[in-house]
Amino acid sequence: MGGSGQDISPVPEDTLCAIENRAVELARLAGTEIIAALGRTLAVRYKGDPENEASLKDPVSEVDHEVEVLIRALLGEHFPDHDILGEEIDEGPSRDCDFVWAIDPVDGTTNFVNGFPLFAGSIGVLYRGQPIVGAVWCSTSHSLRPGVYHARIGGPLSFEKEEVTPKGHNPTIRRRLAGEPQATADHSLPWDIRKTGSAAIECAFAAAHLLHVARFERPNVWDVAGGIVLVRAAGGEVRVKDEERGWIDMDRFHVPGMTNGQKASLRDWRRPLIVGDASAVERMCRSHED
């Protein structure tokens, strides 16, 4: 299965391939570090006010930070003129750099620190805001193995360097699965709900046709940048909610105007997003019009 055809690369193919190969290496490195940490007792802290119980929903472990440091160092060697937007280190990106690497060193940290085996390390590369390469290391996959789903714009979806050919839909399965931010079921919709705790895994699983569709309420760029490329490469659709125009095709991440009266950056982008099979995306958009 090739790319969706609608995606035309703004970057030469050899550059894209070089970026994809490097992104796969870095995602794999994240996976290796994550696996190596599984036997350790992790130091976990929570972002936000430690006195406030409500802020205990955003944990971060030493691994998240270590992996981002490693990836930043390697990127600095290989692509010194590219910029980096990472979850754990509040540096960059500048507004005038064409290439930005969006990195979530551990996505699904709450699962990870609890040993619940669904987490990821996500890398997405943007060219002038447009996602062009994705590499997402996942703790499990369609083949029940950990590994990296990856793609470049206009290219196929691969898993560990092999093209993914999803099984044709089994018509005896009447209800497929949808990733949702809340695990409340609406039985009028034609799917069962899964809340996995990892936005990056949900994107990768939607690309691999394990989920029919997935919806995200306010993802960060690093949660979904890599996954968007995977979904598109597998022929799926990605829609973002625009305040005025409703659900529109997502072509690129735009830097928001202002945040709290301050000039914003890509770090401040957070918009509702739906990814997956075109018909299911359309249906999901209709059920979230307002």
To ligand IPD, the closest distance from the beta carbon of 212 in angstroms equals 18
Dist. CA 102–CA 129, nearest whole Å: 10
Alpha helices in the chain (DSSP H): 13-37, 62-78, 109-114, 199-207, 221-233, 278-286
Binding partner of residue 108 among ligand IPD, Ca ion, none, CB cut-off 5 to 8 Å per kind: ligand IPD
Considering the rule CB under 6 A, would residue 198 count as an interface residue with ligand IPD?
Answer: yes
**Using an 8 Å Cβ cutoff, are 249 and 237 in contact?**
yes
Considering the rule CB under 6 A, would residue 199 count as an interface residue with ligand IPD?
Answer: yes
Dist. CA 140–CA 116, nearest whole Å: 12
Q: What is the number of other CB atoms lying within 10 angstroms of the CB of residue 108? A: 27
Considering the rule CB under 6 A, would residue 130 count as an interface residue with ligand IPD?
Answer: no
Dist. CA 240–CA 192, nearest whole Å: 22
Considering the rule CB under 6 A, would residue 237 count as an interface residue with ligand IPD?
Answer: no
Among 108, 121, 226, 235, binds ligand IPD (CB under 6 A): 108
Dist. CA 83–CA 108, nearest whole Å: 24
Paired tokens of 211? 């989920």
Binding partner of residue 197 among Ca ion, ligand IPD, none, CB cut-off 5 to 8 Å per kind: ligand IPD
To ligand IPD, the closest distance from the beta carbon of 74 in angstroms equals 20
Considering the rule CB under 6 A, would residue 134 count as an interface residue with ligand IPD?
Answer: no
Q: What is the number of other CB atoms lying within 10 angstroms of the CB of residue 38? A: 12
Footprint on residues 242-261 left by ligand IPD (CB under 6 A): none
Sign of CA dihedral 78, 84, 87, 89: positive
To ligand IPD, the closest distance from the beta carbon of 106 in angstroms equals 6
Considering the rule CB under 6 A, would residue 158 count as an interface residue with ligand IPD?
Answer: no
Binding partner of residue 130 among ligand IPD, Ca ion, none, CB cut-off 5 to 8 Å per kind: none
**Using an 8 Å Cβ cutoff, are 48 and 81 in contact?**
no
Considering the rule CB under 6 A, would residue 33 count as an interface residue with ligand IPD?
Answer: no
Q: Which residues are near Ca ion by CB under 5 A?
A: 87, 104, 106-107, 223
Residue indicated by tokens 């430690």? 50
- For Ca ion, the closer CB: 83 or 107: 107
Contact positions vs ligand IPD (CB under 6 A) = 104, 107-109, 181, 197-199, 223
